[in-house]
């Protein structure tokens, strides 16, 4: 990035600086003093950090081909030309608990507080395709999200919320087709046609196998369900993000920053491969792929991570898959602040952590953001703590100034060097995964899980040895009274949902249900697109468990490999 | 006590968060315990069957989904029914302080919450295991 003469001058200055610093260190050592407060300096992910970065560290980076301009290939600086000068990122708090009625009230509260998009958390039975009255659902109904058993619940969930005005993200993976079908059906009842809908389904099964655990079916039929959605939405729901390829949970499971980027993009490559193999043209679906990342505590490393991820994906799409449309090469992403960084000790400190993570996401160019609430290491967040989390985003947006220019940390010697370093490390992982036969094979062999677990255990050992300081947890502890005012989910919600299912089943057209489920079974055995039959089943009030039950019958269930 | 302490690390219910379970399993192993990990999505019946079949001394359950109040006591109850209540049962995860007395009442010997160093349950097991 600099001319040779200038670099030589800088090099000379650096040599001088280093010589002087060595002398100062020797002097201190002679007095028995240490010049530095620890042996080695590393990023949150363990990259060695130098004392000083200069133009020499980024001399090999070509500005025009590697960094470039926002809204242009390789999108290192962002996917829009003016980023947040046009509009802020979407402030989208992940929420949902108990019944559809209670969650509907929380959504209305969040929208009143200035939130600009919805993000639905489903309970575990819904995520794993069991109705609330299934034996496996015992104790889990309404706990980590809202319980949705059929279209009837979905109608209540979005009651009074105009689906043509609000965009909705749904964290749903194995049964993503079913919940998307419920959503399309609710919209139609509101008089909103599918082509007016905007939102996202997570629909990312590979990270479920590797890190999150809410899988149902084996990889092959799962990949079919996903590519069926790509195809169906490209024709019928063009404003829908058909997948949110997620590094968030990979990081939460303990990965480093570059593993998060590498494993996520390797999953992305597997989805694109599968869709192309299913006969889709890359430019018809690639523009609707979206991503989801974590924002951790190491501010500058996280900013570099987001920038590196954009650059790698652009290259993958253009060079590996031959995408022609610029939109296909853009890595658009949602961010959530890192849940595992929150401490149960001195929970107010979490507000500060979340603020730093928010800065990382925004300076990294996120398209939408969920900020965690301070009490999430203890329970589901209360309304008050969710409001503070949302206000944190609003303060960064309106008061901090970081949203006034595009990619404000570009050109920092450190940040550019770190961006390059994360990129290089991620490419090495992607190459390794290619050698194993791609992300699906790498997961089936337990490779990705093992890498994540090793990093997680390393992290834990560092915390316990005190090498890694977590304020309030392993340093600066105080005696604390037990926290008060935590949110409790009504323990009778399981019974309540079971009763709602029974009432609904008594009212629906039993013949229509049977016909729809039979058609689904036949279609699942063949190779036609499953979305239309699932939508038909949804509309006649087949339950989620019935639909997934038929698919379980035909597809079987995934048995994970145990890696320890 | 020449024999190694045998521990079943179990994930009851539908919860997929297994970072904690796997970290603790490794820490137990490094502490010299014999460790068996059940994997995800185990019913209380499956956990109890595994505990008996593997003849473990300790059943350590990890739960972050909020279903601890239902599933942990059920495991203790089933162990008792099978005559296997000599096993030490412990739990860990995102479990509010308010819920802990009821779990202990139900027979869970100790509950470890976020931020607990792995050395704490290790010491607890060494002190309390019935072997």
A204 and A297 housed in the same domain: yes
A451 and A534 housed in the same domain: no
What is the per-residue pLDDT across A471-494, written as a single tens digit (0 to 9) for each? 999 999 999 988 888 888 888 999
Percentages helix, strand, coil for chain A, rounded to the nearest 5? 55, 5, 40
Average pLDDT value for residue range A272-290: 96
* Domain span including residue A265: 81-465
A-chain residue closest to B65, CA distance: A144
pLDDT at A537 over 80: yes
Least-confidence region, from A19-23, A90-94, A131-135, A155-159: A90-94
Helical (H) or strand (E) element with A241? strand A240-241
> B31, B35, B115: which to substitute to probe chain A, counting the most A Cβ within 10 Å?
B115
A-chain CB neighbours of B92 within 8 Å are none
A106 and A222 housed in the same domain: yes
B-chain residue closest to A459, CA distance: B23
Residue A200 has a pLDDT of 96
Residue A395 has a pLDDT of 98
Residue A59 within any structural domain of the chain: no
Average pLDDT value for residue range A244-271: 98
Q: Is there a contact between A528 and A136 (Cβ–Cβ < 8 Å)?
A: no
> B20, B22, B50, B117: which to substitute to probe chain A, counting the most A Cβ within 10 Å?
B22
Residue in A127, A140, A560 closest to B40 by CB: A560
pLDDT at A11 over 70: yes
Q: Which two tokens stand for residue A443?
A: 């997961």
Average pLDDT value for residue range A250-258: 97
Is B114 an interface residue toward A (CB < 8 Å)? Answer: yes
Least Cα distance to A176 among A230, A134, A212, A249 occurs for A230
State how far the alpha carbon of B17 is from the alpha carbons of A61, A127, A181, A444, B111, in Å: 40, 14, 27, 19, 17
Residue A489 has a pLDDT of 83
Peptide bond into A74 cis (omega under 30): yes
CA–CA gap between residue A131 and residue A498 (Å, rounded): 8
Contact assignment for B94 to A457 by CB distance below 8 Å: no
Q: Is there a contact between A230 and A180 (Cβ–Cβ < 8 Å)?
A: no
Residue A77 has a pLDDT of 98
Distance from CA of B34 to the nearest CA of A (A): 13
Report the complex ipTM: 0.94
Q: Which two tokens stand for residue A38?
A: 């620890």
CA–CA gap between residue A345 and residue A190 (Å, rounded): 46
A157 and A245 housed in the same domain: yes
Contact assignment for B98 to A482 by CB distance below 8 Å: yes
A406 and A509 housed in the same domain: no
Where is the domain boundary, A465, A481, A511?
Answer: A465
Contact assignment for B70 to A377 by CB distance below 8 Å: no
Give the angle subtended at the CA of A323 by the CAs of A319 and A329, to the nearest 5°: 85
Residue B2 has a pLDDT of 54
What is the per-residue pLDDT across B45-82, written as a single tens digit (0 to 9) for each? 999 999 999 999 999 999 999 999 999 999 999 999 99
Residue A2 within any structural domain of the chain: no
A-chain CB neighbours of B8 within 8 Å are none
Q: What is the domain count for chain A?
A: 2
| pLDDT band, residue A157 (cuts 50/70/90) | very high
Least-confidence region, from A379-383, A425-429, B112-116: A379-383
Domains of chain B plus CATH, in order, are 6-128 (3.40.50.280)
State how far the alpha carbon of A36 is from the alpha carbons of A21, A50, A391, in Å: 12, 12, 38
**Residue pointed to by tokens 């470890």:** B112
Residues in chain B: 131
State how far the alpha carbon of B92 is from the alpha carbons of A81, A139, A406, B62, in Å: 48, 17, 44, 5
Residue A65 within any structural domain of the chain: no
CA–CA gap between residue A182 and residue B48 (Å, rounded): 38
State the Rg of chain A over Cα. 25
A508 and A438 housed in the same domain: no
Is B101 an interface residue toward A (CB < 8 Å)? Answer: no
A180 and A113 housed in the same domain: yes
CB pairs under 8 A between A and B: 108
CA–CA gap between residue B56 and residue A212 (Å, rounded): 27
* CATH at residue A156: 3.20.20.240
A-chain residue closest to B120, CA distance: A464
Where is the domain boundary, A437, A465, A493?
Answer: A465
pLDDT at B131 over 90: no
Average pLDDT value for residue range A34-38: 92
Residue in B67, B115, B119 closest to A344 by CB: B115
**Residue pointed to by tokens 């809410």:** A214
Residue A485 within any structural domain of the chain: no
pLDDT at B1 over 70: no
Residue predicted with more confidence, A117 or A536: A536
A304 and A411 housed in the same domain: yes
A92 and A218 housed in the same domain: yes
A458 and A510 housed in the same domain: no
What is the per-residue pLDDT across A327-340, written as a single tens digit (0 to 9) for each? 999 999 999 999 99
Residue A23 within any structural domain of the chain: no
A345 and A391 housed in the same domain: yes
Least-confidence region, from A31-35, A281-285, A317-321, A388-392: A31-35
Provide the 10 A C-beta neighbour count for residue A24.
Answer: 10
Residue A379 has a pLDDT of 86
Contact assignment for A564 to B97 by CB distance below 8 Å: no
| pLDDT band, residue A505 (cuts 50/70/90) | very high
Question: Residue A400: exposed, middle, or buried by beta-carbon count in 10 A (0-12, 13-18, 19+)?
Answer: middle
**Residue pointed to by tokens 């253009």:** A318
What is the per-residue pLDDT across A113-147, written as a single tens digit (0 to 9) for each? 888 889 999 999 999 999 999 999 999 999 999 99
> A123, A139, A145, A174: which to substitute to probe chain B, counting the most B Cβ within 10 Å?
A139
Residue predicted with more confidence, A114 or A362: A362
Residue A121 within any structural domain of the chain: yes
Contact assignment for B26 to A564 by CB distance below 8 Å: yes
Query: To the nearest whole number, what is the mean pLDDT of chain A?
Result: 96
pLDDT at A1 over 80: no
What is the per-residue pLDDT across A224-251, written as a single tens digit (0 to 9) for each? 999 999 999 999 999 999 999 999 999 9
Distance from CA of B82 to the nearest CA of A (A): 21
Average pLDDT value for residue range A180-208: 97
Residue A506 has a pLDDT of 97
Residue in B14, B29, B115 closest to A140 by CB: B14
Question: Residue A411: exposed, middle, or buried by beta-carbon count in 10 A (0-12, 13-18, 19+)?
Answer: middle
A437 and A339 housed in the same domain: yes
Where is the domain boundary, A465, A492, A520?
Answer: A465
For residue B8, give the DSSP letter.
E
């Amino acid at each position: 990035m600099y001319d040779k003469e200038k670099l030589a001058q800088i090099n000379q200055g650096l040599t001088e600086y280093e010589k002087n610093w060595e002398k100062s260190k020797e002097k201190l050592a002679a007095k028995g003093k240490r010049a530095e407060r620890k042996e080695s300096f590393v990023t949150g992910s363990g990259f060695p950090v130098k004392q000083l970065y200069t133009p020499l560290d980024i001399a090999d980076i070509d500005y025009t081909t590697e960094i470039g301009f926002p809204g242009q290939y390789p999108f290192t600086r962002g996917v829009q030309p003016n980023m947040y000068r046009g509009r802020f990122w979407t402030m989208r708090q992940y929420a949902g608990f108990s019944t559809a009625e209670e969650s509907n009230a929380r959504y209305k509260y969040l929208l009143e507080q200035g939130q600009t998009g919805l993000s639905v958390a489903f309970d575990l039975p819904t995520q794993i395709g069991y109705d609330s009255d299934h034996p496996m659902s015992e104790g889990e109904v309404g706990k980590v999200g809202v319980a949705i058993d059929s279209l009837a619940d979905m109608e209540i969930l979005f009651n009074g919320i105009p689906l043509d005005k609000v965009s909705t993200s749904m964290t749903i993976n194995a049964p993503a087709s079913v919940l998307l079908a419920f959503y399309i059906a609710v919209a139609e009842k509101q008089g909103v046609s599918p082509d007016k809908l905007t939102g996202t389904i997570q629909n990312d099964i590979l990270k479920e196998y590797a890190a999150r655990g809410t899988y149902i079916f084996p990889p092959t039929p799962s990949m079919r369900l996903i590519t069926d959605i790509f195809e169906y939405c490209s024709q019928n729901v063009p404003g829908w993000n058909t997948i949110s390829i997620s590094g968030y949970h990979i990081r939460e499971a303990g990965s480093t920053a570059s593993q998060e980027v590498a494993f996520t993009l390797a999953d992305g490559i597997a989805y694109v491969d599968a869709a192309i193999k299913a006969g889709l043209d890359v430019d018809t679906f690639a523009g609707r792929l979206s991503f989801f990342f974590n924002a951790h505590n190491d501010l500058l490393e996280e900013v570099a991570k987001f920038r590196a991820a954009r650059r790698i994906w652009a290259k993958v799409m253009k060079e590996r898959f031959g995408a022609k449309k610029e939109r296909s090469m853009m890595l658009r992403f949602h961010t959530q602040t890192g849940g595992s960084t929150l401490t149960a000790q001195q929970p107010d400190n979490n507000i500060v952590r979340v603020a730093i993570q928010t800065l990382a996401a925004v300076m990294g160019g996120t398209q939408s953001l969920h900020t965690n609430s301070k009490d999430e290491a203890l329970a589901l967040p209360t309304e008050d703590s969710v409001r503070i989390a949302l206000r944190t985003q609003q303060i960064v947006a309106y008061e901090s100034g970081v949203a006034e220019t595009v990619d404000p940390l570009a050109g920092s010697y450190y940040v550019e060097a770190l961006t390059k370093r994360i990129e290089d490390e991620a490419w090495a992982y992607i190459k390794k995964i290619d050698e194993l036969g791609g992300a699906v094979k790498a997961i089936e062999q337990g490779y990705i899980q093992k890498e994540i677990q090793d990093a997680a255990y390393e992290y834990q050992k560092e915390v316990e040895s005190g090498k890694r300081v977590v304020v309030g947890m392993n340093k600066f502890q105080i005696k604390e009274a037990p926290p008060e005012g935590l949110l409790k989910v009504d323990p009778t919600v399981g019974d309540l949902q079971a009763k709602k299912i029974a009432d609904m089943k008594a009212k629906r057209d039993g013949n229509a249900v049977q016909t729809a489920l039979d058609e689904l079974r036949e279609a699942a055995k063949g190779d036609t697109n499953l979305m239309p039959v699932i939508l038909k089943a949804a509309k006649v009030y087949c339950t989620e468990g019935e639909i997934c039950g038929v698919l379980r019958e035909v597809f079987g269930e995934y048995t994970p490999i145990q890696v320890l | 006590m020449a024999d190694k302490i045998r521990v079943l690390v179990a994930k009851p219910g539908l919860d997929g968060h297994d970072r904690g379970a796997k970290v603790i399993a490794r820490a137990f192993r490094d502490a010299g315990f014999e460790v068996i990990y059940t994997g995800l999505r185990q019913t209380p019946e499956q956990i109890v069957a595994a505990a008996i079949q593997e003849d473990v001394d300790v059943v350590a359950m990890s739960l972050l989904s909020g279903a601890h109040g239902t599933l942990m006591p059920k495991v203790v109850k089933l162990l008792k029914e099978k005559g296997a209540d000599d096993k030490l049962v412990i739990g860990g995860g995102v479990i509010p302080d308010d819920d802990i007395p009821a779990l202990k009442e139900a027979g869970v010997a100790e509950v470890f919450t976020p931020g607990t160093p792995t050395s704490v349950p290790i010491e607890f097991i060494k002190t309390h295991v019935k072997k």
